[in-house]
Structure formats: structure tokens, C-alpha cells
Chain A
Amino acid sequence: MASVGRVVLVTGVSRDLGLKFARAAAEHPGVDRVIGVDVVPPRGDIGGVSFVRADIRNPIIAKVIAKEDVDTVVHMSVIATPGSTGGRTTMKELNVIGTMQLLAACQKSPQVRQLVVKSTTTVYGASHRDPAMFTEEMEPRHAARSGYAKDVAEIEGYVRGLARRRPDVSVTVLRCANVIGPEVRSPIADYLRLPLVPTVLGFDPRLQFLHERDLLTAMCHAVATGQPGTFNVAGSGVLPLSQILRRLGRATVPIPGFALGQVGNTLKRFGLGEFSPELRAFLTFGRGVDTTRMRTELGFSPVYSTVAALDDFGADLRPTGGRAERVLGSLEQRLDRAPAFVGGPHSDLPDLSDLPEAPGGARD
């Protein structure tokens, strides 16, 4: 598929990840032109990307594809939260109807040779009946009934439909784990940035991350190699949420699962993020995905493991917790400075004079 002078159409360039990918693709030597499509123009430097203002929800997109001789379509405009777009209805329309229109246009266009769709591991859902690691063949234990997860499941269904009807088009679906990075705005990234992080009382979900840069590399890799199929894309390893919050030094407050929705509504009122049903399930039961196929068939290995991605995310995040850690640290220093314990309880240990407070402090 890697013919010289390819024309790549990227949807969803008004958002950060879409624009970054479009710019990266424009610099790729094998790519002639990159056309960015969205309903609103992207903010900031668009580099070598030519922006076309078009709504993928109506048939104009077919004209763009035909006029510009597009041979590769990269679909990145599936959104996770209604956010600024309005309500859930608009979100669903953008996601599902938009994808249908885009796929219909691809099917009609004889030039289109390749389709890459950025999907998400949210498609597997999160429940107490989940296997530890999802492989690509596995279905969600409970089919999503609403929201983002349902949109993605429907979108993937339509994409499979196109792959069936146009066997000459190589279709790659990348199911990406939660993307984090210093600049990423996503439900989970916003959640981890909260100064006081609410957790679900009594649950410690396993989370898996994909670094923003690895996402862009994976997308470029998929476009360059044209390997068809569905692939989980995620950093290696999983982290329990408790460990994540400790590493980030966040202060936490455990909240019973049923009250989390209320907390989410309050947060939403202050514009601090929200807890969609998928996010609530994710924060209760967590999810892990198997990435064997990504490494063997797709031939891609992320640079950042889950831990490395998290550390990069947390590098310039100001800790809000970690009081216990500081107490312990100072205590350890005192012990190091103290003279060796030789003379039994009588030995002179001036540094330890105020230590009786410490073991209590260490336990919080």
C-alpha cells in the first residue's frame, strides 16, 4: 500500500490528538498531502495540513474524498464525551452518523485503498465478570446499552461492514487503551488531575495506559504498513488505581459506588470533568488488554510502558497528597543520622527525642 505520494484524509483535526497526528503524517516522506477535516477549524499551528471545513455527518465528505483523490482515510473523530459539542444526541450523531457517512463515501470512492480507525478498549466494557486480559476476539461480557461504549461498538460494526463489502480496502482498527500524556485532555486524564480524587470505596481497578506519543506512532505505523485487522494498542503492564494515585501523589477520597454519579454531576457543574457510566464502571472494575497481536502481527511496540506513560503524565503534575510519605522520609533521614545503636536503651540518641510521634504519623 505504501505507494509514493499518498493523499491522507484525517477526520477530527480540531482536537489535539487528531491535529498532532495530521501534522506528523504531513511530515512523513511517503505522504504527498494531508487533508484535515472537521466542523470547526483547529486552533494553533496546522503545519503542512490543508484544512477543509466539512461536516462528516453530511454527504459533502464524499465530494472532498473524490475531489482530492484521497487514498487513505484516517478516522479519529470518535468522541468520548459530549463536552463542548452539546448533549448526548449531538455526540451520538457525530460518532455514529458521521462514521456511517464517512464509510459510505469511502465505499463509493474507487481511489480509497486504506482505512485506519482509532477505536478504543472501552468497547470491551468493564464488569466483575471480565477476564483479566481481553484479546481481540473477546466480546464484552455485557453489551453496552448507552453512551460512548455503544457508539464505538456500532462504529466497529459499520467498519467491519465496509471491510466485507470492499475487500480491496485494507481496514485497520486500533483499539487504544486510555491515552494519557502531559497535554492530553480526556475523561481519565482530567480525573487523575483532580486535586482530590474520588475513588470507588472497596474497589481497586487495574488500569492500562497508552502514551500520547505511542498513539501517534501506532497510527503512523498502521498507515505506513497497511496491516489489516483489529489490534489492541496499549502500554505493557497494568497498574492498580491505588498505586497510580500514590505514584502521582494525589489526595484521594473513597466514595461508595452508588454516590459516584452524584459527585460526577457536581464536578460537571464546576467544569472539572464528569463520570459517565463507562468511566464509573471502569473505575470500579478496571480493564486489561492483551497486546500480543499488536507486537506480532502489527509489528508495533510502544516506547512507553503503562508505568512510564504514567510517570511522564505525572512529571509536571503538582502532588496534592503524599503527607505520609514526607513524614516517613524525614523519619528515615533521622534514623540514618542517628549514631549506631550499641548501648541499649541508655545510649544517647538525641535525634530520636521526638520520635514517639512518628509511627502514628506513618500510618495515615
Chain B
Amino acid sequence: MTEATGSRRSVSPTDDSVEQAEVIPIGSRGSRHESEGDVPPPDVDDVLPPPGATGSDRFVLSTEQWRGLFVRAATEVFGEAWEPQLARFLAFLRRRITGDYAVDEFGFDAEITQRFFLSALRPLAERWFRVEVRGIENIPTEGGALVVSNHSGTVPIDGLMTMVSVHDHSGRFLRPLGADLVFRLPVIGAMARKGGATLACQEDAERMLGQGELVGVWPEGFKGVGKPFSHRYKLQRFGRGGFVAAALRTGVPIVPLSVVGAEEIYPLVGNIPSLARLIGVPYIPITPFFPLLGPLGLIPLPSKWLLEFGEPIRTDEYDAGAAEDPMLVFNVTDQVRETIQQTLYSLLMQRESVFR
């Protein structure tokens, strides 16, 4: 669509020959277009004023030219079989704007997530961070499971990258559990729910796991994302072990996930706690490039990422009342934490450098 808009916009220059030259797509994947020569010169009787035309006939384009441009743009966007493609796309758009789709009780919109959110994040995962996934076979192909991961990177991009990687490698949607701050924020909160997230609380975690979903949790929370760069790859406290209790109650396996690379995307070297308190956010990050370079400083550094899913820790072997036993919950929590920490160290040893 954007390309279509682009070529249409380029029609506005006044000179006819310039405009003809501009709309030829460079490196187009369709065949070369020979139609330029065939387009008849603008005929005064058979013209359509382009949008924004002031009435001067220097701005007018013939119907034929319009059609040629449209067909070219459509071919550019949808390929040679643009017509059925476009029809399908229009049908999809129409279904969306008439509200003819379904979301689950958590507000998860699978269609939008798959078509837009994940597609938008995929280039970031594949090209920018070059995410390498290991041990994907540890994610069960069906049934509930709890993916527990370390958390880092100042901005929780690691969660988004994990969602893309899990979906692309295992075909399952990862349903993240988010902090309540996420759902207080406009736009972000609404998008999080559409993307499959829900509030990180006992009730929702158990409900999702009970429904056989693949749930992702980052027990370090803001302590993990907002830790200074000097503390990188040192796991923070794992909450109160609520995630272990949820897994024990629903009897689903815990899959430890170690993410290497996210720590370096925004090296957090400073914080403004007083301002953070004033706004009501956990921290205001200062990185070597932000706020120094302004919006440019928001570009994450292109570190090389490694995601390793560890062997699942079974919880269905414990008794029914295991979740009420704090000692057991602490032990399992420590086991998960240790596994992730050890895997982080071994991944760091294997990594050639931060950016390669």
C-alpha cells in the first residue's frame, strides 16, 4: 500500500515528462513496463483532475494514464497476480472495518497479531538483531507451558523478540504476562491486549495455562529491564515465585529461556529517580546516546542475539497441594533461576563479540 501511495504522490509534479520518469519503479519485481509509450498524450476531452489540482490543465492526467499508474502500483505491491491478491486484501479490510472477527476473552486478536504486529517486528528480529534460536524443541507442540525468561534492555524489546521467535520457530503464539503499568498506558495497553498479553497476576496466569496456552513470563520485572549496564547478565530477584505456583497448580512444564544480546541494545548508564517518581514510571533511562542524540538515541544498538530454550522442568509430578508449600515453590524458583543464569554464562562464552 505504501508503495502505491508513493507512486501516486509522485504524479503531482507539473511537468509531464518528469512525472513519467519518476514513477518507473527502480528494481521492481514485476516485469519492465513498456506502457509509457502507449499512453496517449493528455486529451482535453478525456481527463480527470488529480487530487489537489487547481484546474490548470498542466495538472491533468488522462483516464488511461490513471489506469496505467494504478495497475503499475498494484503490480508493484501485490506482484503479477495482483487482482486476486488485491481482492483478498480488500475482503480482509472490509471484514476488519465491519467488525467481523473474533478475539478471545483476554482480548487477543490472532489475526492482527499475525498479520501486522509480528510482521512489523520480524525484520527487527531477523535483520537487526539476527536472533538465533536454540532448543526450540523444548517448547511443547501443544498444551500449556510456561516460558520463563531473563529480562533486560531498558525497553522490554526482548519480550517482543521472544514472541516473534517463538511464533516463527514453533508456530505457537507466546502469550506474555505484563506489568500493570503496561495496561495503564494508552495505546500500548490496548496493543498489548490485542497482541495476546494479559496482566501478570495469579488469576490470569492460571486461567491462560489452564486453557493450554503457551505463556511467557519475565519474573525479574522492572528490576531486570531497568538495571544498570554494569550489572548486565546478572539475574535479579525472581519476584515472589508466583509463576512457579501458577505452573504447579496447573501442572504445566516450565521452560527456562536465556536471552543474550538484549542487554546491549540500550546500555543504561544513568537514571533520574526523582523525575521517574514524579511521572510515576519505574525509571528514566540515560544511555550513552539518549537523551544526548535525541530521537536518534532511541535506535537500539544492533547486538547479536541468542535465545536458548532450556529443558522443560516438569511440575505435574508434585502433589496437589504443592503450590501451597512455600519451601517447594522457592526451591523450584531457584532451580529455574540457576538454570537461566548458568545458560547465560555459557552463551556469553560462546559469543564472539557483542555485535557479531
Binding site for B on A (CB under 8 A): 128-133, 135, 138, 200-204, 206, 237-240, 242-247, 249, 257, 285, 288, 322, 324-325, 328-329, 331-332, 335-336, 338, 340-341, 344-346, 349, 352-357, 359-360, 362-363
In the complex, what residues of B have CB within 8 A of residue A203's CB? 186, 189-190
* Nearest CB of chain A from residue B307's CB, rounded to whole Å: 27
Asked if B240 is at the interface (CB within 8 A of a chain A CB), the reply is no
Q: Given A243-B103, A335-B87, output 13 extra A-B contacts at Cβ < 8 Å.
A: A129-B199, A129-B201, A202-B189, A202-B190, A238-B107, A243-B99, A246-B98, A325-B97, A332-B94, A345-B33, A346-B35, A349-B71, A353-B63
B59 contacts the other chain (CB 8 A): no
Residues of B within 8 A of A (CB): 1, 4-5, 8, 31, 33, 35, 38, 48, 51, 63, 66-73, 75, 81-83, 86-87, 90-91, 93-94, 96-103, 105-107, 109, 180, 183-187, 189-190, 193-194, 198-199, 201, 203-204, 207
CB pair A359–B4 under 8 Å, yes or no, is yes
Do residues A335 and B103 form an inter-chain contact, with CB atoms below 8 A? no
Is chain B's binding surface mostly helix, strand, loop or mixed?
Answer: helix
Chain A proximity of B249: nearest CB distance (Å): 14
Q: Tell me the smallest distance from the CB of A136 to a CB of chain B, in Å.
A: 12
Give Cα A210–Cα B1 distance, bound, in whole angstroms: 40
Shortest distance from the beta carbon of B115 to any chain A beta carbon, whole Å: 16
Q: Are B107 and A336 in contact (CB under 8 A)?
A: no
B184 to chain A, nearest CB (A): 4
A169 → chain B closest CB, angstroms: 31
Also in contact, A340 and B83, with CB within 8 A (given A128-B183, A129-B199, A246-B99)? yes
Contacts known (A203-B189, A349-B71, A356-B8); A328 close to B94, Cβ less than 8 A: yes
Q: Is the CB of A335 within 8 A of B105?
A: no
* A331 vs chain B, min Cβ distance (A): 6
Q: Is the CB of A345 within 8 A of B98?
A: no
9 contacts between A and B (CB under 8 A): A128-B180, A133-B207, A135-B203, A238-B103, A240-B109, A246-B97, A246-B99, A336-B87, A345-B72
**Smallest distance from the beta carbon of A302 to chain B beta carbons, Å?**
15
Q: Pick the contact of B186: A202, A288, A338 (CB < 8 A).
A: A202
What's the count of A-B pairs with C-beta under 8 Å? 138
Residues of B within 8 A of A206 (CB): 103, 105, 107, 193
B4 cross-chain contacts in A, Cβ below 8 A: 359
A354 with B189: CB separation less than 8 A = no
Contact A341 B82, beta carbon cutoff 8 Å: yes
Residue of A nearest to B180 (CB): A129
Tell me, in angstroms, the Cα distance from A344 to B30 when the chains sit together. 10
Which of A130, A135, A242, A335 sits near B90, CB closer than 8 Å?
Answer: A335
Q: Write the nearest CB–CB distance from A295 to chain B, whole angstroms.
A: 15
Q: Contact between B180 and A132 (Cβ–Cβ < 8 Å)?
A: no
Decide yes or no: A237 and B83 within 8 Å by CB, A352-B70, A354-B48 being known contacts. Answer: no
Contacts of A201 in B (CB 8 A): 186
User: Are A332 and B87 CB-contacts (below 8 A) given A129-B180, A325-B94, A352-B71?
Assistant: yes
Contact B31 A344 (CB under 8 A): yes
Is A128 a contact partner of B189 (Cβ separation < 8 A)? yes
B83 touches A341 (CB 8 A): yes
Q: Which residues of B contact A243 (CB under 8 A)?
A: 99, 101, 103
* Option from B5, B100, B204 in Cβ contact (under 8 Å) with A359: B5
Q: In the complex, what residue of chain B is closest to A135 when comparing beta carbons? A: B203
